[in-house]
C-alpha cells in the first residue's frame, strides 16, 4: 500500500486531489478504513453497528476508488449500502431517507478530469468539514500509515456487510413532491423550450426522466455522462463553460437554459435573453416562492456573506426572517439543522432545503423555477428585472496577495467608519453599498464581492477602489 500521504488533500469541505498522484487506490482504502472510526465517535456507537452509504460519479477513476473505499470501510467492520453510480444529492438522499450513520460520495464535483475526491457525511446527511471530522480522518490515516502494514491481527474486527441498492426511482418520486407537476404540464401554448446542459456529468441520468415527464421541449447538450468532458469543463460558474448553452438558448429561442456541474448538486440558469442568473438573485426568487408555500409565517432563510442585499430584502418582504451565514455546505447544513431553516442559498449555486435533509440539490431548483415560471406566466428575465434594476453586483473577483490576513486588517482600518463583521472574512457595510472579502481555503487569494444600490457605474467605481487597495503591493489575480 502507499507509504506517503499528502495532507493537502484534506480540504475545508471534502477530500480532493489529483488521481494517481495525491489519491490512489491505496490511499482511498486507508481513508475508507479510517472513516468509520470517526463516525463511531460522532454517533456514539460501535463501528460494527454503523451503516454507511456509498456512491460514485462518472469519472474514469471512480468505480475503482469506490471499491477501495468500500473495502476499507468493510475491513473496519462497518456495513456499507452501495448505490453505485449516482449524483451527489442522491447519496445525500440515501443517507437521509434511510437514517444511515454516514455516507461517502466519490466525486471531484466541478474539478477538471484529472481530479478525484470524496465528500464525507455523518448522520442526517450532514457534511464533515475541516473544522469537524475531516482532519480527524487525516490523523487516523496518518496513524495507519505509521503502523505496520502486515497481516490483520487476531483481534481485527469482523468484516462488515455490503448491500447493493438502486435508488433512482425512489429519489425521483421524492423530489417531484416539491412541486405541482400539473402546473408545469398545464402551460398553455407550445411546450416550454428548455436547453439543458449536463456538463457531461450526472445530471442527465438523474434529472432527465423527471424533466421529460413534465412535457417540456428539451434541447439536450452534454447530457450523457462522459468523464473526458469533450465539450467543456464541468463547472458552469466559469464563463467559458457557459458559452455553448448561452448560444443554444439564443439560437433556439428557448425559454431558458439550465446547466449543472459535474456531480449535479448545483444548477445554474440562463434566461431567455442569454443572461446568466447570479446565485444570490436565484436565492431571492426561490426564497420568495418557498415562503409563499410555507404553512406558517416567519420561516428562517439562510444566505451567505457574499450575497446581494436582494436576498434579505426579499425574504423580509415575503414574511421570512433572513440570517447571514458562513460560506460552505458544511456550515449551511449544520446551521439549517440546528435552527430549522426552511431554505438556504449560496452565491456559488448551492441551494439547501429543510425538507430534503437540509442538503443541497441541483434537481429541486430546476423543478421549482419551472413551476414558478408556469405559475407566474412571466419569463425569467421579467421575474429578475426588479433585482437587476436595483441591485448592482460585481460578482466574485479573485486577487493574489502575499499575506491575506494582513491585507484584511488593512481593509478594516481603511474602512473603519463602516459597519464591520468578521463572520467570514471581513464584511464592510455602508448605507448604500457593501462588500465582503474572504481568503481562499486553498490558495493565497482574497475573494471580493461588492454591491451598490446606486448604479452600475457606482458599483464599478467602488469595486475598482477596493481592488486597488487589495492589490497594492500584491500581484493581481483573475
Q: What is the dihedral of CA 282, 283, 289, 292, to 10 degrees?
A: -160
Q: Is the dihedral of CA 100, 102, 108, 114 positive or negative?
A: negative
Nine-digit cell at 197? Answer: 446542459
Which of 238, 267, 241 shows the shortest CA–CA distance to 398?
A: 238
The pLDDT of residue 155: 63
CA 228 – CA 237 distance, rounded (Å): 19
CA-to-CA separations, 197 to 5, 220, 222, 246, 373, in angstroms, rounded: 36, 6, 6, 10, 19
DSSP state of 159: P
CB atoms < 10 A from the CB of 444, how many? 15
For residues 344-380, one letter each, b for 16 or more C-beta atoms within 10 angstroms of the residue's C-beta and e for the rest, the string is bbbbbbbbbbbebbbbbbbbbbbbbbbbbbbbeeeeb
Q: What's the Rg (C-alpha) of the chain? A: 23
DSSP state of 422: -
Q: What is the dihedral of CA 191, 195, 198, 203, to 10 degrees?
A: -20
Task: Output the tens digit of pLDDT for each of the chain's 478 residues.
Answer: 445 899 999 988 899 999 999 999 999 999 999 999 999 999 999 999 999 999 999 999 999 999 999 999 999 999 999 999 999 999 999 999 999 999 999 999 988 999 999 999 999 999 998 778 999 999 999 999 988 444 444 467 899 999 999 999 999 999 999 999 999 998 778 899 999 999 999 999 999 999 999 999 999 999 999 999 988 888 998 899 999 999 999 999 999 999 999 999 999 999 999 999 999 999 999 999 999 999 899 999 999 999 999 999 999 999 999 999 999 888 899 899 888 999 999 999 999 999 999 999 999 999 999 999 999 999 999 999 999 999 999 999 999 999 999 999 999 999 999 999 999 999 999 999 999 999 987 678 999 999 999 999 999 999 999 999 999 974 444 4
Q: Is the dihedral of CA 268, 271, 275, 281 positive or negative?
A: negative
Domains of the chain: 7-166 (3.40.120.10), 172-390 (3.40.120.10), 392-471 (3.30.310.50)
Q: Looking at 97-158, which runs of residues are DSSP E strands?
A: 102-106, 115-122
CA 429 to chain CA centroid, Å, is 27
Residues 6+ apart with CB under 8 A from 224: 198, 200, 204
Q: Is residue 109 flagged as an active site residue? A: yes
CA 203 to chain CA centroid, Å, is 14
Backbone φ, ψ for residue 359 (5° rounding): -95, 160
pTM: 0.93
CB atoms < 10 A from the CB of 245, how many? 28
CA-to-CA separations, 316 to 258, 288, 310, in angstroms, rounded: 28, 9, 10
Catalytic residue, chosen from 109, 348, 394, 399, is: 109
The pLDDT of residue 150: 42
Amino acid at each position: 500500500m502507499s507509504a506517503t500521504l499528502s495532507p493537502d488533500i484534506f480540504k475545508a469541505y471534502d477530500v480532493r486531489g489529483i488521481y494517481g498522484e495525491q489519491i490512489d487506490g491505496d490511499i482511498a482504502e486507508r481513508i475508507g478504513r479510517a472513516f468509520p472510526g470517526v463516525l463511531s465517535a460522532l454517533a456514539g456507537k460501535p463501528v460494527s453497528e454503523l451503516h454507511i452509504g456509498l456512491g460514485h460519479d462518472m469519472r474514469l477513476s471512480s468505480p475503482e476508488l469506490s471499491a477501495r473505499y468500500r473495502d476499507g470501510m468493510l475491513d473496519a467492520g462497518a456495513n456499507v449500502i452501495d448505490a453505485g453510480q449516482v449524483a451527489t444529492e442522491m447519496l445525500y438522499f440515501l443517507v437521509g431517507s434511510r437514517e444511515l450513520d454516514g455516507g461517502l460520495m466519490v466525486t471531484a464535483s466541478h474539478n477538471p478530469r484529472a481530479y478525484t475526491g470524496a465528500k464525507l457525511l455523518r448522520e442526517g446527511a450532514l457534511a464533515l468539514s475541516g473544522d469537524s471530522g475531516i482532519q480527524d480522518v487525516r490523523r487516523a490515516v496518518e496513524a495507519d500509515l505509521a503502523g505496520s502494514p502486515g497481516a490483520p491481527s487476531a483481534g481485527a474486527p469482523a468484516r462488515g456487510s455490503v448491500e447493493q441498492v438502486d435508488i433512482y426511482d425512489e429519489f425521483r418520486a421524492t423530489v417531484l413532491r416539491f412541486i405541482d407537476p400539473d402546473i408545469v404540464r398545464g402551460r398553455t401554448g407550445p411546450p416550454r423550450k428548455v436547453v439543458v446542459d449536463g456538463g457531461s456529468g450526472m445530471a442527465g441520468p438523474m434529472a432527465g426522466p423527471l424533466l421529460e415527464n413534465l412535457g417540456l421541449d428539451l434541447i439536450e447538450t452534454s447530457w450523457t455522462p462522459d468523464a473526458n468532458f469533450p465539450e467543456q469543463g464541468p463547472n458552469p460558474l466559469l464563463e467559458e463553460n457557459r458559452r455553448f448553452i448561452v448560444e443554444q438558448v439564443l439560437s433556439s429561442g428557448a425559454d431558458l437554459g439550465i446547466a449543472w456541474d459535474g456531480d449535479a448538486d448545483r444548477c445554474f440558469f440562463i434566461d431567455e435573453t442569454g443572461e446568466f442568473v447570479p446565485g444570490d438573485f436565484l436565492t431571492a426568487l426561490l426564497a420568495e416562492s418557498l415562503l409563499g408555500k410555507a404553512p406558517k409565517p416567519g420561516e428562517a432563510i439562510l444566505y451567505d456573506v457574499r450575497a446581494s442585499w436582494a436576498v434579505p430584502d426579499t425574504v423580509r418582504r415575503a414574511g421570512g426572517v433572513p440570517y447571514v451565514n458562513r460560506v460552505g455546505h458544511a456550515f449551511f447544513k449544520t446551521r439549517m439543522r440546528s435552527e430549522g431553516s426552511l431554505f438556504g442559498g449560496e452565491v456559488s449555486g448551492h441551494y439547501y432545503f429543510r425538507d430534503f435533509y437540509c442538503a443541497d440539490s441541483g434537481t429541486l431548483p430546476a423543478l421549482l423555477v419551472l413551476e414558478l415560471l408556469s405559475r407566474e406566466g412571466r419569463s425569467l428575465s421579467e421575474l429578475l428585472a426588479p433585482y437587476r434594476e436595483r441591485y448592482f453586483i460585481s460578482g466574485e473577483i479573485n486577487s493574489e496577495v502575499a499575506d491575506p490576513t494582513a491585507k484584511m486588517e488593512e481593509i478594516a482600518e481603511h474602512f473603519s467608519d463602516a459597519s464591520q463583521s468578521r463572520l467570514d472574512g471581513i464584511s464592510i457595510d455602508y448605507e448604500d453599498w457593501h462588500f465582503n472579502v474572504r481568503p481562499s481555503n486553498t490558495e493565497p487569494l482574497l475573494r471580493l464581492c461588492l454591491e451598490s444600490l446606486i448604479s452600475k457605474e457606482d458599483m464599478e467605481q467602488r469595486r475598482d477602489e477596493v481592488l486597488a487597495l487589495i492589490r497594492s503591493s500584491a500581484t493581481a489575480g483573475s
